[in-house]
Structures are given as C-alpha cells and as structure tokens.
Amino acid sequence: MRGTSRDRILARVRRALADVPAHERPQDHPVPRDYLRTHGARTPAESADLLAENLADYRAVVHRVAATGLPALLTELLGRRGARRVAVPAGLPAEWLAQAPVEQVPDSAGLTARELDAVDSVVTGCALAIAETGTVVLDAGPDQGRRLITLVPDHHVCVVRTADQIVDSVPQALGRLDPARPLTWISGPSATSDIELDRVEGVHGPRALDVILVHDGRPRDEQAVTGDSAPARGL
Amino acid sequence: MSRTYLGMPAFPEAAAVSTGDATLRANLRRATHTIRAKRAAAVAELDDWDQLRAAGAAVKDRTLRHLDRYLLQLEENVTRAGGTVHWAADADEANRIVTDLVRATGETEVVKVKSMATQETGLNAALEQAGIRPYETDLAELIVQLGDDLPSHILVPAIHRSRGEIRDIFRTRMADWGRPAPSGLTDRPSDLAEAARLHLREKFLRAKVAVSGANFMVAETGTLVVVESEGNGRMCLTLPETLISVVGIEKTVPTWQDLEIYLQLLPRSATAERMNPYTSMWTGTTDDDGPRSFHLVLLDNGRTDALADRTGRQVLRCIRCSACLNVCPVYERAGGHAYGSPYPGPIGAVLTPQLRGLASPLEESLPFASSLCGACYDVCPVAIDIPEILVHLRERVVQGGEVTTRGIRTVVKPAKKHLAERAMMHAAGWTLDHPRALRRAQRLAARTRRLHPRRLPGPGRAWSDTRELPPLPTEPFRDWWARTRGGTA
Ligand code: SF4
C-alpha cells in the first residue's frame, strides 16, 4: 500500500510540473540571498548587551557575572527560588553547584518525566545564544543534558559564556549548529498568545528562566554588572 | 465527537450569520487590530525585510519546481536518521496510517500538538471512531476542543472567544476531559494559562504517543522543525515513546541554511515576536533522548492539484503565519468559521478551493470572499499574490476551465448562473463598503486584466471592469442588495 501512494504522489508531482523544463536544475531557479548576515556591526560587548536586552524584553531574568562569581550566583538564584532538588546534566562543571545546598538530581537515561516533575530547577550550559533575537539554543551537549530536563522543571537557569557562545544573528547561529543533534531554541520563558492575541507568560515549559552571561573574569567594559541586569524595555 | 466542516454553507450565507454576531466581531476586531500594529513594528526592525521576503518566496518556488527530487531526498535522510516515512495521497489514507500506527502501540490516547494538516484531514474524528482519544494540548486548540467548537484562526484557533467565554468553557468542560478547572477560576489570562497547565500536565506525563505537524522539513538533513510558544510542542515532541508527524509535502525546504530565512520571517509575521519562545528541531531519533520511534506521514491531499495550476501553485509557499487573516477586512467581519475549513481568511479563500477542487457551492464561493484590497499580499512574508489567485479562481468558477482534481485533469463547467451572481454580489457588496479597497481592487484589476472574464452579469462589473471607476449605482448598493437578495437566496 505504502509503495503505491508513494508512487502515485510522485507521479502527480511530476505531471503537475510538466511546465518545468526537463533540463532545469534546482539551482537554475534563482534565489537572491542579498539579505543581511547580521543587522548592524557590533563589538562583542555590544552583542552581549543586546542579548541581555532582548532576553529581558521577553521576561527572562538576565544576570552578568565573572567566572569566579558563578558558583555564588547560582547558589543565590536557586536559594531565592527556594529550590531544593535540582536537575544536573552529566557534563555540568562540578564546581558550579559545589556551594549550593541542594540535592542534585543527575540526568541519566533512567530519569523519567514524572521524576522530573518533582524537581524544582535545572541548571545547564548552552550551545550558543543569539543576540538579535534574545535566544539561547540547547543542543543536548554534555552540559545541557537530554531535552526533557530543561522542559519539565518549572525553573531553568541557563549559563552562556560571553567569550565564545554569543552570535549576532539567526544566520550565524544556524551556521554553527549541528542538525544531527536535537535542538531547542528558547526565547524567554514559556508563553502564549492564545487569549485575545496577547502574550502571557507561563504555560507548559519552565515559567521562570534565568540566563547568566558569564565573562572570563578580566575587568571588562564599564557596562559589566553583577546580579540582575537593568530592567529592559517592554516590561 | 469532534466537529467537522462537512456540509458547511457557502461563504455568503455563513458570513451573513457571523457578521450579525456582535460579540464575535468585537473579539475578532480587538485581537486582529492589536496584532496588526505589533507585526508592523516587528517587521520594521529588520532593514532587510524585503530581501528576506524575496528569498523566502524564491526558495519555496525552487523547492516546488523540483518537489519530487526534494521529497525523495527528505525521505532518504529521515530514514537514515532512524525515522519511518509514510505517504498519504489523501485525508483518509493519512488518518488510516496514523490510526494503525497508534493501534500498533496498544495505546488508546494520544497527545496532539496543534497541526493544520491533521485538522485538514479530520484526524481527531477518525481517531475517536477507532476508540482512540486525541487530546489537543495547544491552549487555543484545547479551548476549541473543550467547547466542542471549530477553529477560526490559523494561529489562534480560539480567537473568536473572549477571556470570559474561555473561563466558562474551562469551568464547565474541563472535568469531562480530566482534571477539573481550579475552583474560583477567574478570567485573567495568567489564571487561564495556569488552569491549562495543570489540566494537561498529567496527560503529558502519561502520554506514550504524540501526533504533531511541522513548520519545516529540511530535505538535505531530514530535520523537522516545530515553532511554538507554550511548550506543549516540546512536551509532545520529547516525552512520548512514539512520535507521528503529519506534514504537507509543501513544507519541504532544500537546505539547512534555508531555515535562516524562515526563522526570521515566521515569528515576526505570526506573533510579532523577534523569536517565538520555543523552536524544536529533530532529525530522526536520538538514543535516550526523546521518542524511540518516529514516523513521518507525508500528505498530498490536493497539494499536487494546486501544484498543477501555474497561477495557483504559489499558494504552496504559505508558511501559515496568519498575517493575511489579521489584516483582512472581510475576515474581520465574517469570522473564521464562514470559510468552511481550517484555513480561514485570504489564505483559505485561495487554498481551500485548490485543495478540494471546486467541489461544492462553498468552494465556488470562496474566491469571491474578498474585496481584492491587496492587504494580504502586502503582509505575506512569502509574497503570495493572493488577489491574483482570487481573480484566477473567479474566472474558473464563472467561465469554467481546466483543473486537476486528485491528479486527474478535468474540465469544470461554469458555475450555475445564479450562484456566480450571488457570490459576486456579495463580493461587490464588500467592495462598495470600502471605497479605498475599491480603488485598490481597480488597480489590481488593471494589472491582471488578462485574467479577467470578459462578461459578467450586472453589478459583477464592480470588480471586473478594468478601465475606469464603475458608475455608482443610483440606488445605494446595499439597498439594492437587500431588495434583490430575496429573489436569489
Ligand atoms: S498566505 Fe502568506 S500571510 Fe497568509 S498565512 Fe500564508 S504565508 Fe502567512
């Protein structure tokens, strides 16, 4: 049966395209790619600022910290939330949560969604972040874990290294991502526009998203701050 | 039982009912006007919008012109990554494939991510008949399902419902489907969202099988992409053991890089966001992460018939953003249900008659459900010239001509005179209600003169006259219409 419909559909497609010259190759139909690779030229510091601004615009809470301050900040954020049980990807650097007085729930193939439903928070790294759209992208790498661990708990803390993980634009992001890996693009916490077309935060995914932009610890530009970033526009 | 669109009346009759519904019109008006302004601002942020739009149209055209080749490449790559590909020539076949796949798992429930394709095939009704309970998990789809209702917007299927109505539906119906609404539920959107979260959480944790659609399929990698807001998509794509995705064949794009165009065009056009909250991409199956078995059902169901029409095939570029609905003066007044399919608004007016053929008075009337004002074309992120297709389809209805139906080329006869007249009266009524729209329609008419039927009866000239403003009737049009409609209705 399956073969039959496959053949029938392909035959219909070919009949429908009788007007396309037999010698035409896909590349013969022109695609103008004169759109921009990025929208504006930015220094790395400006890209980080834009990322912070756009993330906050969609109600992620953005924090900036030097690498040495990361464990203390994580401890503080989990404490503020009252998190007791925290899901941890296998490859998360051990020192990140070394100071946090929480029960760590390690990600493993056996950890079920139901078990995760009783977990308060999850802490991960990311594959990259996109400044222009305020997006973090997870690719299930060792410091991010399986997709479900960032989905079922209600609070996600995502750490972005500003030195090498921020790109400006969607085209740049796709160029760096591996399609063979399962990818999750996250732009702010879960939301819906389904009630009178108005964006409301919080349906099924984590309703609280903390993003930490961590820099390498050298004195950075004058805008570097620790703790919450300035509240951004649109709040 | 899930409601279906079977036996829907033709557009003018259905629209007459909804335009008389003041609540519906007010809900629609508020929602579409809000999103219009936001979309314009989101689009204005990108200096290269026109270039993105041109590229978005060109990539789709390239794909469509070589669709057989890309479908085979897609099949090969999905299969290599551990997925199984099925081909469904029509809705019944798609429903049968999905039903059999669910049965093979031994499960009697599935969770569903909002999917236009499965609405089009009427999958929920088919599953229910087979004793399988489908749970819609998108908030708006949940509202529609609980309210035993039909969707009225592509992106926000419950757009015709106000927050108060939603609260009432949750209060009275949630208990029948699972966890009841919290007592004292208010109509605050955040409370309504919380109620949906609680209601569906148990279903997600229990679900073994999910059914989804997809926004894009990448031929060169076999990757599927789902763009969403709430996280119900992520739940369905990640937690169950079996994932079945039903996707129209036109959702194919050739390369991974091509996504850079659509992931910029779609969120800004749809929800007016720089980026939607969640986008999931998966290629086949991944060990220990997500579903162990993945099935892709490639759906034709009239798409190849649309592909056979050289003017009409551009409709297959559509990325279902719904921007054309939100700017359409006819949609705003008529409401989504009048279009008699899951595809309302301008896109529905050109897509439904092509997918189903000019099969009944409904499909024949849809091309007339427009004032040809052109706003839909202006906002369409893939530059579908909807007014051009409308005029083309009107010609088919009025004059008859060659069409392809289920892969077979046939000639349709001109619609019965009274029907064509009636449909055109209605269209003309809209146009004359909107002087600005009329001027634009005239410009368009001049542009597409070649495509126009030569002779149209009576006031049908309001849109077919190509040279000058039609003389305004001495009797106001609406009076004339009210007086004469009794004769033809
Ligand atoms: S026709 Fe264009 S504007 Fe309308 S839904 Fe499709 S892509 Fe969007």
**Residue A227 belongs to a domain:** no
Measured distance CA(B107)–CA(B116) in Å, rounded: 23
Q: What is the pLDDT of residues B423-443, one digit of tens each?
A: 555 555 554 454 454 445 444
Largest pairwise CA distance in chain A: 69
Tell me which amino acid residue B161 is.
Answer: R
The fold of the B48-255+268-299 domain, in CATH, is: Rossmann fold (3.40.50)
List alpha helices for chain A, DSSP H. 2-16, 44-57, 70-81, 113-116, 170-176
Chain B residues whose CB is inside 8 A of the A206 CB are 231
- C-alpha triplet A176, A178, A183: angle, nearest 5°: 105
Q: What is the pLDDT of residues B176-209, one digit of tens each?
A: 999 999 999 999 988 998 999 999 999 999 999 9
Predicted TM-score (pTM) of the model is 0.88
ipTM summary value: 0.92
Computed over every residue of chain B, the mean pLDDT equals: 85
**Residue A29 belongs to a domain:** no
Using the structure block, give the residue that is written with the tokens 């979309």. B39
Question: Which CATH number covers residue A179?
Answer: 3.40.50.10420
Q: What is the pLDDT of residues A25-71, one digit of tens each?
A: 999 999 999 999 999 999 999 999 999 999 999 999 999 999 999 99
Tell me which amino acid residue A116 is.
Answer: L
Share of chain A above pLDDT 90, in %: 82
- Predicted confidence at residue B360, as pLDDT, reads 82
The confidence band for B358, taking pLDDT boundaries of 50, 70 and 90, is: confident
In this predicted structure, which of B27-31, B170-174, B215-219, B305-309 has the lowest mean pLDDT? B27-31
**Residue A136 belongs to a domain:** yes
**Residue A9 belongs to a domain:** no
Report the number of distinct structural domains present in chain A. Answer: 1
Q: Whose CA is closest to atom 3 on ligand 1?
A: B380
For the record, the structure tokens of B53 come out as 């739009």
Query: Is the pLDDT assigned to residue B13 strictly greater than 60?
Result: yes
**Which residues form the pocket of ligand 1, taking CB atoms under 6 Å from any ligand atom?**
B 269, 318-324, 347, 379-382, 384
| Burial class of residue B472, CB neighbours in 10 A (0-12, 13-18, 19+) | exposed
- Predicted confidence at residue B365, as pLDDT, reads 87
Gap between the terminal Cα atoms of chain A: 55
Instruction: Identify the domain containing residue A145 by its residue range.
Output: 42-222
**Residue A166 belongs to a domain:** yes
User: Running DSSP on this structure, what letter comes out for residue A42?
Assistant: -
**Residue A5 belongs to a domain:** no
A135 near B CB under 8 A: yes
In this predicted structure, which of B172-176, B252-256, B431-435 has the lowest mean pLDDT? B431-435
- Predicted confidence at residue B340, as pLDDT, reads 86
The confidence band for B2, taking pLDDT boundaries of 50, 70 and 90, is: low
**Residue A20 belongs to a domain:** no
Distance between Cα B321 and ligand 1 center (Å) = 5
Q: Where are the domains of chain B?
A: 10-45+322-414, 48-255+268-299, 432-484
Residues 6+ apart with CB under 8 A from B40: none
Q: Which residue, B406, B409, B412, is CA-closest to B92? A: B406
Using the structure block, give the residue that is written with the tokens 């796709």. A174
Q: Is B282 helix (H, G, I), strand (E, B) or coil?
A: strand
Size of interface A-B (CB pairs under 8 A): 263
List alpha helices for B178-219, DSSP H. 189-206
Highest mean pLDDT among A229-233, B172-176, B301-305: B301-305
Measured distance CA(A60)–CA(B223) in Å, rounded: 28
Computed over every residue of chain A, the mean pLDDT equals: 90
In this predicted structure, which of A12-21, B99-108, B396-405 has the lowest mean pLDDT? B396-405
Q: What is the pLDDT of residues B330-355, one digit of tens each?
A: 999 888 888 988 899 999 999 999 99
Q: Which of B281, B285, B321, B354 to mutate to test the interface with A (most CBs of A within 10 A)?
A: B281
